[in-house]
Amino acid sequence: MKTNKASAGTLKKVLGFLGKYRLPLCAALVFSAISAVIMLYIPLLFGKAVDLIISAGNVDFQGIKTELLRSLALIVICAVCTWIFSALNNRVAFGVVKDIRDKAFAKINLLPLSYLDGHPQGETLSRLITDVSRF
């Protein structure tokens, strides 16, 4: 039970850091959704292209060309959306890590020397770096 409360508290703190990144986070979700829909639709276009091959000598080449060009256009759009999604995700993740590190270093600067002297050299900084780099 205590672990769940600790996890909930940690989640609230992380969501607090995400607050100032709402716009890029929402944009990333939109681009992710667009990319997912396109990835699901492209196989349908290929299926339509295959369906235009009726029998030997009865092939609608113009229709196949149209479906393949649509697929190509959607593949390019999907690639761009995926790239934008990744860039926004990286911006949010690196921003949150920077904010957490800034806050942690500010807190370390306020620690009394007796605390730092009472712990092994580098332990405090090592914990900070390990915890933040999990993002």
Q: What is the pLDDT at residue 3?
A: 59
- Residue 77's Cβ-side half-sphere holds a number of Cα atoms within 13 Å equal to 16
Q: Is the pTM of this model over 0.85?
A: no
SS3 sequence of 20-41: HHHHHHHHHHHHHHHHHHHHHH
Give 10-residue mean pLDDT values along the chain (135 residues).
67 83 94 97 95 88 95 97 96 89 83 77 73 67
pLDDT of residue 2: 57
| Residue bearing tokens 């699901």 | 40
pLDDT of the residue at 135:
62
